[in-house]
Structure 1
Amino acid sequence: MELTLNQLKEFDGSDPSKPIYVSVRGRIFDVTTGKSFYGPGGPYALFSGKDASRALAKMSKNEEDVCASLDGLSAKEIGVLDDWEKKFEAKYTVVGKVVS
């Protein structure tokens, strides 16, 4: 499946009939099984329906960091993102990718 960032927004958990998706480095993970974390009211709900790469790398919950841009990140932050990506791969299914 290929989704634009705009289409990805539809999978933010606000519609209970749809799965919840989070993108990391352009790959879309189905995080529906982690609804208590990624669903409405969950501690990571702001990542749902978006590419959370920068926010994960920076360990940030600031809205402006919830984006795909890795520009200006330090090697340490890229390492943190690598660790998050491995956690997502171990726990959730990749269902597609983000396209322009």
Structure 2
Amino acid sequence: MGGKFEPKEPVNLDPPKNDPISLEELARANGSEGQKAYVAIKGKVYDVTGNKAYQTGGSYNVFAGKDASRALAKTSTKAEDVKPEWQDLDDKEKGVLNDWDTFFSKRYNVVGIVEGATNTE
């Protein structure tokens, strides 16, 4: 997976953290009223605070404060698809999810791991 996921501008990222983040803490990071915005993919929590799309009213705010693995795999912004479960999806959707994981990993800091996540692989 080479250049197609590289950001247009270089991004200096911190080393990934594996601090446990509770579901409650993740839910609070929903981009509202100046709150941080976190999106989890396969249990990894990315800090997307700097991207307005994840703030209240933004086109991807539905993902903020949640593990959005299933929705990203299905290329969906429907609230009912924003779930951590993805293992039952077909290979094409799993590939899309892996692409999103790669995309996020090149742009956003990993600030932790969802506590008790069962969808990491």
TM-score range, shorter chain: over 0.9
How far 1:63 moved relative to its partner? 1.2
Query: How high is the TM-score relative to the length of structure 1?
Result: 0.92
Determine which of 85, 88, 96 is the counterpart of 1:72. 88
Correspondence for 1:8: 26
Runs of 4+ aligned residues of structure 1 deviating over 3 Å after TM superposition are none
Specify which of 58, 78, 99 is matched with residue 62 of structure 1.
78
Q: Is this contact kept in 2: 1:5–1:51, CA < 8 A?
A: no
Aligned residues: 98
Q: Which amino acid aligns with 1:55?
A: A
| Structure 1 residue ranges without an equivalent (≥5) | none
Say whether the 8 Å CA contact 2:33–2:56 is kept in structure 1: no
The structure richer in helix per residue is 1
* Contact 1:12–1:48 under 8 Å retained in 2: yes
RMSD of equivalent CA atoms: 1.1
**Cα contact 1:3–1:96 (8 A) shared by 2:** yes
| Percent of residue pairs identical | 44
SS of the residue corresponding to residue 13 of structure 1 reads: coil
Q: Secondary structure at the match of 2:50?
A: helix
- Which sections of structure 2, spanning at least 5 residues, go unmatched? 1-18, 117-121
SS in 2 for 1:78: helix
Map of 1:26 onto structure 2 = 43
2: CA distance, partners of 1:19 / 1:7 = 10
